[in-house]
Amino acid sequence: MFSEYTATELTAIFAMQGFAGLILFSVLVLMALGLAIIFGQMGVINMAHGEFMILGAYVTYLTSNIFSEFMPSLYEGYFFLAMALAFLAAFLLGILVEWGLIRFLYKRPLDTLLATWGLSLILQQIYRSVFGAREKGVSPPEWMMGSYPLTDLIEVPINGIFVMILTLVIATGVYLLMYRSRWGKQVRAVVQNRPMASAVGINTEKVDRLTFGIGCGIAGIAGSAFTLIGSTGPTSGQLYIVDTFLVVVFGGAQSLLGTIASAFAISQSQSTMEFFLSGSMAKVLTLLFVVGILMLRPQGLFALKIRR
């Protein structure tokens, strides 16, 4: 299948597909980071994670509309405010959900799955009633449009570069938060041994609530970034939820590095194959590959070694 292309064209194809893969990678990482915190650290299966992401996307959409309506001169910078608001909205909703639902179910992980699935149905219907069933697109600010030509054949879109930088910043932030802050230390302590953590004076309820909220907040940011590369509908979140879970499980649920590595592997293999096969076959092969590896190595790529 390579014969009809010249060598330089092939390089360009691989580079462009690789770059497209990097954008997919960024979105997957952003979504998976939140989930890795919630699922990996707390053991809660949040099926509504996609809906938290969509909440962020809708908040971004609303902010951009407000800016273009009332402050067109500041439109160039709306995205940064939108991102902060998206985080805040998803964070608050996350806290509310933890308080109202999740905290009763910590001992029953399979039931959190069903309950959060119910939550996701409700949220989807709310989005549909409020924003309509049609997909909403956000027009990105001027400076994010267009693309940057690297060579004659290779062009990289600027919004893609921006999303990648954003991912890098957020991943670093999460890393610092989890491994270099007092709060992160508490979270890890609670995960490893809940009774002991509470015996040494950690308020485990508060830690749980904050952890869940921050995980959801990161999903909100992911949704905000998502508006730069695609449009948002009430059920867009559901499309990504299985991929995201596979990313987290494949990477080894408790390892942030594993999450990033597996997001990279999945997105790159998918986008490279997409060029040569049909999109659906690329996806099938990628998922099969992941499921196959998981059957051979159930603990994921990077398993955290702790005694239980």
Partner 1 sequence: MSSRNQIRYFERKDLIGFALLAVLLMLVLPAFLDVFRLNLVGKYLTYAFVALGLVLCWGYGGILSLGQGVFFGLGGYCMAMFLKLESSDPESTAIQSTPGIPDFMDWNQLTELPWWWEPFYSLSFSLLAVILIPALFAFIISVAMFKRRVGGVYFAIITQAIAAILTILIIGQQGYTGGVNGITDLRTLKGWDIRSDEAKTILYFVCCVLLIGCLVLAQFIRRNKVGRILVAMREQEDRVRFSGYDVSNFKIFVFCLAAAISAIGGAMFTLQVGFMSPTFVGIVPSIEMVIFCAVGGRLSLLGAVYGTLLVNYAKTSFSETFPELWLFAMGALFIGVVLAFPNGLAGLFQRYIEPYMPAWYWGKSKQPDPSPPPEPKTPPAETDGPPEIQESNAPTVAKTKKETETETLKGGQYVPAD
Q: How many CA atoms lie within 13 A of 235 on its CB side?
A: 4
Q: How far is CA 256 from CA 3, 34, 145, 173, in A?
A: 40, 10, 31, 12
Pick 131 or 245: Cβ nearer partner 1: 245
Q: Is 128 in the site for partner 1 (CB under 8 A)?
A: yes
Q: Is 303 in the site for partner 1 (CB under 8 A)?
A: no
CA distances 155 to 19, 201, 270, Å, are 9, 55, 20
Four-point Cα dihedral 107, 111, 112, 116, nearest 10: -170
Q: How far is residue 179's CA from residue 277's CA, in Å, rounded to a whole number?
A: 41
State which of residues 242, 257, 276, 306 lies at the interface with partner 1 (CB under 8 A): 242
With respect to partner 1, which residue has the nearer C-beta, 115 or 214?
Answer: 115
Encoded tokens for 296: 């051979």
- For residue 232, the cross-strand partners are 136
Distance CA 228, CA 67 (A): 16
Is there binding between residue 62 and partner 1 (CB under 8 A)? no
- Matching residue, tokens 């194959």: 273
Contacting residue, 240, 290, 301, 302, with partner 1 by CB under 8 A: 290
Binding window for partner 1 (CB under 8 A); candidates: 61-69, 144-152, 166-174, 284-292: 284-292
Q: Among residues 141 and 234, whose Cβ is nearest to partner 1?
A: 234
Beta carbon nearer to partner 1, 108 or 134: 108
Contact residues: partner 1, CB under 8 A: 43, 45, 101, 103-111, 113-115, 117-122, 124-125, 128-129, 238, 242, 245-246, 249, 278, 280-281, 283-284, 287-288, 290-291, 294-295, 298
